Structure formats: structure tokens, C-alpha cells
């Protein structure tokens, strides 16, 4: 089973050093992503999902971050055991990432086409370094290369359904809307056919209708480009619309994980249930929202028991003593809660 | 319906912004460009009602809110409060006492150098003649009403969480006991669980203080949860309005249909998002499309739509939509 | 972690203890300012020797236990002279920076918040001042006014405030677009009170970081002007003037020009370290 997955994270723990004590941002997280699968890591701010995403692509600044334990196995290779140079070969080629703010992800002084081209060049030169290939340096070859590259740029723009790609390639980022820019980012990320695309809140800054377009595009491209996606979001509704599997995170841990249909029809963990009950649907006359009591825990102190216990309506003595393990219930549905043992 | 009953009555409001550049630029170029942020909007809010204005970025809803509040001057049109024209309020102070606003983004809505109690009592400084003791007492009262006890009085915003900041925001808005509170994206910057707490708080406060709400939001589910009636705004115009339940569950205008369909529903069995067929982008408000502003993106558009702008017609006793081909969108 | 009741003082303490730079800078600056205040208040009494008394030691004596910085050609103790001159440079730089800060903050904040004619006028006027090399302007004014410490100060004051005005204007522009300004307007607060209560306090911190480094700049310029002889007040010592007076002894009695130069350098570096650290601290506070 493990050989088949694209990504296999095993007991990963990451902490940030700070003046007021270490912050345990990711706490013993294990998860896997299979080929052509869209997995969504869902949680509120501070749950560790962004740290997890950054760690997978090796973009965590260390210091202040430090890896305490665990492995990140990408297609069988433990990324944590690689030197920075070796890891860089993966970044952008095998594993790509897009971020929340399309406004700041693109360089404002270069045309769109040039930036896409730069991404393609960088990645193919990295690929070529790992496969030894001789390049034909004749002038004819470089002219062919140039028109080849232009075609590649247009291909990328077409891939992400940007209208009028010939004209768009010569535009600057400020001439494009947020939705367009995000599509360009997706195009740049997918241009080299990575096996894993990590998307960190890719549509949070976009309008509702634009968000729908971009999410639909991402889902559709998975088959076309032969990739898997890890979607990091705080929005359970968004995750429910395009994910195959969902991992619910709280205070650095995965508290529940499973097939999206399973999770929504039978949410097991009290936090998941609480989150679902928070989503307003229908009018106030119907049912009042039931917010989760209390507030998110301080990640500096690591309590002995379950981190959600202080806010849990089903808390028992047992919950305060020891942390519940993530156990399997029916198929691939996992939950970390004593209620279900 | 007699005019006196409507707490707020906005008629054909037009708000244009001059974006021609600073002082010296127009002198040289002799040209002025306008952003037609609000271009002929009529709406109203009744006593005790909650009305939502729903739309995406650039549609003009925030500008509409600011014009109603009085922070922005309108070019044309009227704003009446309990039948009285705004201009009749000699001092803006009276108007600000009756209408207040909870501003978007709790982080930039609070002065980082001001303590909570000072922020909350500031409206009383400008709009009432209370002395310091009176103001502080009132501030404590509203802070308690929003769920913050006395330990928060002397805190600075940097010592508060997102939800707490938003509560302070709300406290400031109700300290003068206004009749109408405008809420500009009240929960957009908050986590899901905090959002739920704030939404419930708003409902409690509405009961306690007999408030009317005007909610500006892009979040359909928040609009549905809180409001009695909903206006749908696009590129400076109202395209559809009516009872919230009807507008959101049986949208008729093509834009509303696309908007509702795009809103993610937490139901993996109903993947409406993947079925949405919306094309194009939100239009420029400097040069909006001629005729119906939505026509370049509308699946039902015909020649007429680019020539003639549709007006808001009733499609049932309380529902209005601005579309030439509204018949095509009815669900059979 | 020091916890203090008053959140504003807590904030200042946090800024000052942000990193090693701020801590070290603060200690050095505190020591220098303390020395200046002590000397200014107690005068000659606290010094080992009278700074203008001649022949307290053999002339041109090398540094020793009695005369840590040696003696000059008239047998005066260099250490006492340097110490005695401390309040001059410190006083001038604090006054110049302080007044420039105030004037610049008020003008810039009003221009940034109100915009319009005032803003345009300020921008063009400061453009003109920037176009002229500062030192040349200062020297010209100093020459016109005549020598002396107060005249130096006036000359510097005229050219020193524009950067503060620009900085304040930029910050005020940023602050003016924050929602809390609109909220204040909706609270019936008038423009004047918005400027003083909301805009000014929020533009201060970045300006203070800049001002701290700037004190070092004034020290250098003032030392330079007194080196050029524009601030002569013989026989009273002045750091820059001492460097100029002793520069001929660079080979024969190097301690004479080097110690005053070194002290000038230390003072500038101290303020620069503190200011630099504060700049980082303020940025971090803004993000975090």
C-alpha cells in the first residue's frame, strides 16, 4: 500500500523556536496521498496545516522551525534525509506549490509569458541535470527552441483556460485580475507535470464566482496532468466540493481523516462535528448555530491528554490523562478520540 | 406602505469617485476618470429588519454602506432616515448617532495605540455630551453585552484575538444606541468557530437593543442565516432583490443563479461547484459594459441586452429582478 | 520575560529588548546620555582635571594611568576635555533631531492626511531642499550667521527636518486609509482630533527608529562643522575641533587626534546600533 502512494508522511513533528518557548506546530502527523487523489487538510488558523504544507516542499525556514521527528516519503524517498541541493531538484519539478495571494506571487515587472518561460526553463534545466543529456547548440536549434518555448507558454495558458493566450502572454501581472493570476500560478506549477501540487488557501482571496472557476479547474486538471493535490484550507465547504479525502487538523494533529462522503455523513470526532455545526445554513429561524466553546489552545504548552478536551462536550477523565491515538474505523476512516474506541 | 415606517430609504443613489489623479495631474491632462461605484441604487430597511446586500468585490456594496453612513458624498439620489432627508440633519452628529457601522477587517478597524475602553467610548466623545464617567460606564455596559468583561478595558488591540477585536468593533458600533447598524463583512476575517459565536452575538444584540441591520457581505450563507431580505449587487447596480429565502433558494436573475451556484455548500453529494458554468471576470467600474452590465457573461443574453439596460421589474409581489429575459430562468 | 502593567510601557520595553542589537545599543546610548547629563549638570567638578587648565601634566604625554587619553601641547588632560565636550554634541544632536522630528511630524502628518494643496506644497518644497547638498547648505548658513554652537544648530535645523516630513507624510498616507480613521469620523470626531489622537501616535514608531540613527548623523555633521572651525569656542573643547587642531600630531602623538575621532565614532555607532535594532523591532511588531 505504501509503495503505491505518492506521498507518505509518517509521525512528523515540527516545532518553531520562539523567545517564549517552543511552539509545537505539527504534532505526530501521519498521512498519505495516492496518485490522482485530492486530499484536503482542513482546520482553523494555527492548526498547523500551512506548516505541514511548507514542510512537504522544504520551504520551512529553519531556524526558527526544527524537525523533531518523522519522515516525509515522496515516491519512496525520504525528503528529510536529502541535502538542500538534492531537495531543490524536487521543488518545482516533482512537487509544486501555490499560495494564497496571487497579487504578490508574481513579479510585477515581468510579463506573464516571461515568467512562465522562466519557470519552464529552470525546471527543465534541473531535470536535465539529473538526466545527462547533451544539448544541440546550433543556431537553427536555438531558433526552433525559441518558437518551441513560445508554444510551451501558450500551451500552459491554454491548460488553465486563459482566454486569448497569445495576447495574455505579453501582459503584466497588474493587468490581470486575481482569478487570472491564480490560474497563471497554477499553470506555472503544473507546467512541469509534478506528481504533487500543494495548494495553500488558493482561493481564499478570490471572489465567490472566481473561486468556483479556479476550484473546478484544479479538479479537472488532476486527470489531465496526472497529478495529486493537497488542498490546504480553513473552509470545510470548499473542501467538500472537490476533495476525495479530508484530514481534519486541530492544534497540530490530525484528529479525523477519511473519505469525504464518509466524513460528512458520519463525522466522528467532536471537533469535526463542532465545525460542521458552525457552518451557517438556512435562516436563523431554523436552528441557531452551535459554536464550539472556548478557544484554540496555546501551542507552547503540550497537555498530557487530548488537546481538544477542554472544549469537548463529551470529555471524560480519560481524555485528560493520555492522548488518544489515531485508529481506523471502517475502511479508511480514522479518528483520534476515546468516544470511538 | 407609508414612508415614515421605513427606517432607511435610499432612492436612485449615485456615488462616483474621481480617480483622475492628484492635484497637478488633471491640470495637465485635462481629463477626469470616474469610478461609477454606485450607479442608481434604491433600497430600504424597515424597523427591526435585517437586510443583506450581497455581491462580489468591486460591486459597490462597501461604497453604498459608506454613503448611507455618511462618510462618502453622493452625486445624486436621496437617503432618507425615518422619512427625513439626510440633508435635514443639521449636524452629521445626529445622523451618526442613529446609524453606525461595524467596519470590515477587525485588525485595521481598531487604533493600535488606543485602549479598548477609549476606542469604545470614542463615539460618545464625538456624538454625545456625556462626561468621562458617564462614557466609561456606558462603555463597560456595551463591552459586557458583547461578552467582554472588565479585564479587557485597558488592553491594546495587539493583546486581543480576532474574535475579541470584532467584539470590540461591535461594542463601539452600538454604544450610541443606534437604530441601524451597518455590518461590513462582519465575519469574513474570522475562523469558523469564532464566526458562529459572532453571528449568534449579533442576533442576541438585535433582540436586546432593538436594532435593525444592514449586512454587506459576499458570503451567501451568512446572508441567508441573518437576513430577512436580500439585495444582489453587481457593478454598481441592484440586479435582484426580495425575501432572502426566495432569492437564495430560487434565484431568478442569471447573475444570482451563478452566484448562488458558486457558493460552496458543505455537502459532498451535491457538488454544485463542479457544475457551475460561469465565465469571465467582474467588470471594470470605470467603463462598465453598455446596456445590462452582466450581459457579456450571461448565458441568456441577446442583442437587446447590450443596447438597453433592464429595469427592476416585479416578478412576484415582493420580488424584483432586472432582466429582459427573466422568463427563461424560471425553474420548470 | 518582563511583564509590566501598563501595556504601552510594556511595548517600549519589548522593543528595546527585541534583540542583541537593541539591548547593546540601548546600554551604550544610555551610558553616553548619562555621561552627558552628569557632566552638564555638575560641570568641571566631576572631571579628573579642569579641561582648560594648562600644565596639569607634561605636554604631549602619552596615555598613562593619570592621563588615560594623554595630554596635549598645552599640557591639558585630553580625557577631561573629551568628557567635558560630550554634552555639546549630544545636546546639539538631540535638539536638531527633536525639533526636526516635531516639525516634520506635524507638517508631514497634516499633509499626508489632508492631501491637496498643502501636500503638494510640502512635497515640492522638500524636493528643493533635497536637491541641494546638505552640508554645503549648512556651511553656507553657518558662514553667514558666524561661528558658535547655537548658530550651528540653527543652520542644521533649517535643513534637517525635510526627511522627517516625508517620512511622516508617507506613514500618514498609510494610516489615513485604515478603517479606524473612518470609524473615528463616523464617531463625529473632527479632523484636528483625528490628526492628533489617531494619525500622529501611529506614525511615531517608525519615525523614532529613523530618528535614533539620525542622531548619529547629526553628531558626525556637527563634528565635521566644528572640525572646519565653524564652531570654535576656544579654549573650551569640542570633539570635531580637537580632531582638527591635533591632526598635525597624527604621527608624533597619535593619541591626540585619534581619541576624539574614536569617541565620535563610538557615539555614532552606538546610536546606529540602537536605531538599526529598533527598526527591525518595529517591523517585527508590525507583522507579528
Q: Give the integer Cα–Cα distance in Å for B273 and B259.
A: 10
Q: What is the pLDDT of residue A2?
A: 44
Closest CA to C176 of C267, C101, C112: C112
> What is the average pLDDT value for chain A, to the nearest integer?
85
Give the containing element (helix H, strand E) for B44: strand B34-46
Coil vs helix vs strand at A323? coil
Domain ranges, ordered by start, for chain A: 1-83+199-280, 95-193
Q: Which residues of A touch B196 (CB under 8 A)?
A: 277-278, 280, 289-292
ipTM computed for the complex: 0.87
- pLDDT reported for residue B1: 43
Share of chain B above pLDDT 70, in %: 92
Cell of C271: 546610536
DSSP label at residue B234:
E
A216·B276 Cβ contact <8 A: yes
Measured in angstroms, the CA of B103 and the nearest CA of chain C are apart by 7
Region A35-62 average pLDDT: 91
Interface test with C, best of B96, B107, B108 (most C CBs within 10 A): B108
Q: Cβ of B197 and A211 within 8 Å?
A: no
Q: How does the average pLDDT of chain B come out, rounded?
A: 87
Across the interface, which of C179, C188, C201 has its CB nearest the CB of B126?
A: C188
Question: Is C117 in CB contact (< 8 Å) with chain B?
Answer: yes
DSSP notation for B206-222: HHHHT-EEEEEES-HHH
Of A145 and C173, the structure prediction assigns the larger pLDDT to C173
Report in angstroms the alpha-carbon separations of B271 from A25, A329, C149, C244: 32, 26, 79, 82
Residue C273: what pLDDT?
Answer: 92
| CB distance B245 to B230 below 8 Å | no
Q: Which residue of C has its CA nearest to B24?
A: C120
Question: For B59-84, how does the pLDDT look when each residue is reduced to its tens digit (9 = 90+)?
Answer: 999 999 999 988 888 888 888 888 88
Cα(C275)–Cα(B313) distance, integer angstroms: 65
Q: Phi, psi (5° rounding) for residue A247?
A: -115, 115
pLDDT tens digit at each of 288 positions of chain C:
566 777 778 888 888 888 888 899 999 999 999 999 998 888 888 888 888 888 888 888 888 888 888 888 888 888 888 888 898 889 989 999 999 999 999 999 999 998 888 888 999 988 988 888 877 887 888 788 887 778 888 888 888 999 999 999 999 999 999 999 999 998 888 899 999 999 999 999 889 989 999 999 999 888 888 888 877 677 788 888 888 888 888 888 888 889 989 999 999 999 999 999 998 888 887 765
Instruction: Please write the tens of the pLDDT for every residue from A191-216.
Output: 878 899 999 999 888 888 889 999 99
- Cα separation, C79 vs C260, whole angstroms: 9
pLDDT digits (tens, 9 = 90+) for A218-265: 998 888 888 999 999 999 999 999 999 999 999 999 999 999 999 999
| pLDDT at position B32 over 60 | yes
Q: Rounded CA gap, A162 and B298, in Å?
A: 18
CATH code, domain with B91: 3.40.50.300
β-pair type (B180-184, B99-102): parallel
Mean pLDDT of A261-275: 92
Structural domain contains residue B114: no
Q: Is the pLDDT of residue B3 over 60?
A: no
What secondary structure does DSSP assign to A194-246, as a single string? -SEEEEESTTTTS-HHHHHHHHHHHHHHHHHHT-EEEEEES-HHHHHHH-SEE
Topology, domain A95-193: Rossmann fold (3.40.50)
What residues of B are in contact with residue A238 (Cβ under 8 Å)? 264
Which cell is B109 given?
Answer: 478597524
Take residue C258 and report the three cell numbers written for it: 585619534
Which of B23, B113, B159 lies closest to C117 in CB terms? B23
Cβ-based neighbour number of residue A339 at 10 Å: 14
Give yes or no for residue B87 having a pLDDT over 80. Answer: no
**Closest of B75, B78, B116, B123 to residue B100, by C-alpha:** B123
Q: C188 and B112 in contact by Cβ < 8 A?
A: no
Helix extents (H) in chain B: 24-29, 61-69, 92-98, 106-109, 116-127, 132-145, 162-174, 192-209, 220-226, 244-249, 254-262, 272-275, 303-307
Tell me how far CA of residue A155 lies from CA of A114, A149, A166, C143, in angstroms. Answer: 14, 10, 10, 70
B29/chain A closest Cα distance in angstroms: 22
Please check whether the two domains, A1-83+199-280 and A95-193, share a CATH topology: yes
Range of the domain at B261: 3-107+178-191+211-329
Which among A92, A88, A91, A72 has a CA at the least distance from the CA of A80? A72
Could you say which of 3.40.50.2030, 2.70.70.10, 3.10.105.10, 3.40.50.300 is the CATH number of the domain covering A1-83+199-280?
3.40.50.300
**Number of folded domains that form chain B:** 1
Beta strands in chain A (DSSP E): 7-16, 23-33, 38-42, 65-74, 77-78, 95-98, 196-200, 228-233, 245-250, 253-259, 327-329, 333-335
Q: Taking Cα atoms as reference points, which of B243, B238, B205 lies closest to residue B224?
A: B243
Looking only at the bridges linking them, the beta strands covering A327-329 and A333-335 are: antiparallel
pLDDT computed for residue B286 by the predictor: 79
User: Would residue B241 count as lying in a domain?
Assistant: yes
pLDDT digits (tens, 9 = 90+) for B236-274: 999 999 999 999 999 999 999 999 999 988 888 888 877
Nearest CA distance, B310 vs chain A (angstrom) = 22
Do residues B50 and B211 touch, judged by C-beta distance below 8 A?
Answer: no
Residues of A in contact with B226 (CB under 8 A): 280, 284
Tell me the nearest-neighbour CA distance from B77 into chain C, angstroms.
Answer: 21
Amino acid at each position: 500500500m505504501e509503495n503505491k502512494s505518492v506521498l507518505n508522511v509518517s509521525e512528523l513533528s515540527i516545532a518553531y523556536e520562539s523567545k517564549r518557548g517552543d511552539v509545537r506546530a505539527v504534532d505526530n502527523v501521519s498521512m498519505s496521498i495516492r496518485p490522482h487523489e485530492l486530499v484536503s487538510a482542513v482546520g482553523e488558523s494555527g492548526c498547523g496545516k500551512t506548516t505541514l504544507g511548507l514542510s512537504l516542499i522544504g520551504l520551512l525556514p529553519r531556524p526558527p522551525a526544527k524537525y523533531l521527528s518523522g519522515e516525509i516519503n515522496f515516491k519512496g524517498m525520504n525528503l528529510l534525509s536529502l541535502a538542500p541541493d538534492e531537495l531543490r531538484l524536487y521543488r518545482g519539478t516533482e512537487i509544486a506549490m501555490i499560495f494564497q495571494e496571487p497579487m504578490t506571487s508574481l513579479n510585477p515587472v515581468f510579463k506573464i509569458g516571461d515568467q512562465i518561460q522562466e519557470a519552464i526553463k529552470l525546471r527543465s534545466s534541473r531535470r536535465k541535470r539529473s538526466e545527462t543529456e547533451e544539448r544541440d547548440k546550433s543556431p537553427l536549434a536555438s531558433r526552433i527552441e525559441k518558437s518551441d518555448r513560445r508554444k510551451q507558454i501558450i500551451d500552459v495558458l491554454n491548460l488553465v483556460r486563459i482566454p486569448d493566450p497569445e495576447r495574455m502572454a505579453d501582459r503584466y501581472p497588474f493587468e490581470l485580475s486575481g482569478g487570472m493570476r491564480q490560474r497563471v500560478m497554477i499553470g506555472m506549477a503544473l507546467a512541469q507535470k509534478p506528481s504533487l501540487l500543494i495548494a495553500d488557501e488558493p482561493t481564499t482571496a478570490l471572489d465567490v464566482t472566481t473561486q468556483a472557476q479556479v476550484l473546478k479547474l484544479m479538479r479537472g486538471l488532476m486527470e489531465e496532468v496526472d497529478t495529486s493535490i493537497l488542498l490546504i484550507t480553513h473552509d470545510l465547504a470548499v473542501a467538500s466540493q472537490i476533495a476525495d479525502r479530508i484530514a481534519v487538523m486541530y492544534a497540530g494533529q490530525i484528529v479525523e481523516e477519511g473519505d469525504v462522503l464518509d466524513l460528512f455523513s458520519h463525522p466522528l470526532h467532536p471537533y469535526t462535528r463542532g465545525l460542521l455545526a458552525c457552518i451557517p445554513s438556512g435562516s436563523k429561524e431554523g436552528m441557531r448555530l452551535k459554536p464550539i466553546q472556548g478557544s484554540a489552545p496555546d501551542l507552547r504548552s503540550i497537555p498530557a491528554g487530548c488537546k481538544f478536551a477542554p472544549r469537548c462536550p463529551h470529555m471524560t477523565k480519560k481524555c485528560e490523562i493520555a492522548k488518544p491515538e489515531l485508529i481506523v474505523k471502517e475502511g479508511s476512516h480514522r479518528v483520534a478520540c476515546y468516544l470511538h474506541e | 406602505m407609508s414612508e415614515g415606517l421605513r427606517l432607511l430609504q435610499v432612492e436612485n443613489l449615485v456615488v462616483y469617485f474621481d480617480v483622475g489623479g492628484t492635484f497637478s495631474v488633471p491640470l495637465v491632462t485635462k481629463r477626469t476618470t470616474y469610478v461609477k461605484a454606485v450607479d442608481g441604487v434604491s433600497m430600504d430597511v424597515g424597523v427591526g429588519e435585517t437586510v443583506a446586500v450581497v455581491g462580489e468585490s468591486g460591486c459597490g456594496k462597501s461604497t453604498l454602506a459608506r454613503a448611507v453612513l455618511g462618510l462618502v458624498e453622493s452625486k445624486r439620489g436621496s437617503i432618507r432616515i425615518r422619512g427625513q432627508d439626510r440633508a435635514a440633519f443639521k449636524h452629521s452628529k445626529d445622523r451618526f448617532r442613529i446609524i453606525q457601522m461595524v467596519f470590515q477587517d477587525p485588525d485595521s478597524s481598531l487604533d493600535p495605540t488606543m485602549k479598548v475602553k477609549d476606542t469604545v467610548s470614542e463615539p460618545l466623545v464625538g456624538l454625545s455630551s456625556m462626561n468621562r464617567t458617564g462614557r466609561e460606564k456606558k462603555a463597560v455596559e456595551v463591552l459586557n453585552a458583547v461578552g467582554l468583561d472588565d479585564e479587557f478595558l485597558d488592553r491594546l488591540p495587539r493583546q486581543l484575538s480576532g474574535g475579541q477585536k470584532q467584539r470590540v468593533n461591535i461594542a463601539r458600533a452600538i454604544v450610541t444606541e443606534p437604530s441601524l447598524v451597518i455590518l461590513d463583512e462582519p465575519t469574513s476575517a474570522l475562523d469558523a468557530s469564532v464566526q458562529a459565536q459572532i453571528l449568534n452575538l449579533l442576533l442576541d444584540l438585535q433582540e436586546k437593543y432593538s436594532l435593525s441591520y444592514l449586512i454587506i457581505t459576499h458570503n451567501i450563507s451568512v446572508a441567508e442565516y441573518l437576513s430577512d431580505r436580500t439585495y444582489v449587487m453587481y457593478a454598481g447596480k441592484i440586479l435582484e432583490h426580495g425575501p432572502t429565502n426566495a432569492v437564495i433558494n430560487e434565484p431568478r436573475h442569471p447573475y444570482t443563479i451563478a452566484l448562488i451556484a458558486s457558493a460552496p455548500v458543505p455537502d459532498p453529494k451535491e457538488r454544485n461547484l463542479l457544475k457551475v458554468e460561469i465565465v469571465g471576470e467582474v467588470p471594470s467600474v470605470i467603463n462598465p459594459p453598455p446596456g445590462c452590465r452582466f450581459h457579456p457573461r450571461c448565458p441568456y443574453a441577446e442583442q437587446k441586452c447590450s443596447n438597453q439596460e433592464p429595469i427592476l421589474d416585479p416578478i412576484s409581489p415582493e420580488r424584483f429582478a432586472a432582466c429582459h429575459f427573466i422568463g427563461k430562468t424560471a425553474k420548470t | 520575560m518582563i511583564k509590566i502593567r501598563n501595556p504601552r510601557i510594556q511595548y517600549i520595553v519589548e522593543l528595546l529588548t527585541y534583540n542583541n542589537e537593541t539591548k547593546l545599543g540601548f546600554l551604550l546610548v544610555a551610558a553616553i546620555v548619562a555621561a552627558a547629563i552628569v557632566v552638564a549638570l555638575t560641570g568641571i567638578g566631576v572631571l579628573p582635571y579642569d579641561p582648560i587648565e594648562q600644565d596639569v601634566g607634561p605636554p604631549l604625554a602619552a596615555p598613562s594611568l593619570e592621563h588615560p587619553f594623554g595630554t596635549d601641547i598645552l599640557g591639558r588632560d585630553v580625557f577631561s576635555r573629551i568628557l567635558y565636550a560630550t554634552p555639546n554634541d549630544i545636546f546639539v544632536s538631540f535638539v536638531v533631531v527633536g525639533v526636526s522630528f516635531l516639525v516634520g511630524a506635524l507638517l508631514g502628518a497634516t499633509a499626508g492626511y489632508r492631501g491637496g494643496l498643502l501636500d503638494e506644497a510640502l512635497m515640492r518644497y522638500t524636493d528643493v531642499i533635497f536637491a541641494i547638498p546638505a552640508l554645503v547648505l549648512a556651511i553656507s548658513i553657518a558662514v553667514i550667521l558666524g561661528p558658535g554652537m547655537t548658530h550651528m544648530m540653527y543652520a542644521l535645523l533649517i535643513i534637517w527636518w525635510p526627511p522627517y516630513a516625508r517620512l511622516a507624510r508617507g506613514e500618514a498616507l498609510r494610516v489615513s486609509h485604515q478603517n479606524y480613521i473612518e470609524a473615528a469620523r463616523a464617531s463625529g470626531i473632527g479632523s484636528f482630533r483625528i490628526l492628533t489622537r489617531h494619525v500622529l501616535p501611529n506614525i511615531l514608531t517608525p519615525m523614532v527608529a529613523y530618528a535614533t540613527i539620525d542622531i548619529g548623523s547629526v553628531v558626525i555633521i556637527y563634528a565635521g562643522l566644528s572640525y572646519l572651525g565653524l564652531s570654535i569656542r576656544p579654549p573650551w573643547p569640542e570633539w570635531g575641533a580637537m580632531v582638527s587642531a591635533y591632526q598635525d600630531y597624527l604621527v608624533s602623538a597619535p593619541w591626540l587626534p585619534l581619541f576624539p575621532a574614536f569617541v565620535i565614532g563610538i557615539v555614532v555607532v552606538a546610536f546606529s546600533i540602537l536605531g538599526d535594532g529598533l527598526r527591525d523591532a518595529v517591523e517585527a511588531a508590525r507583522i507579528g
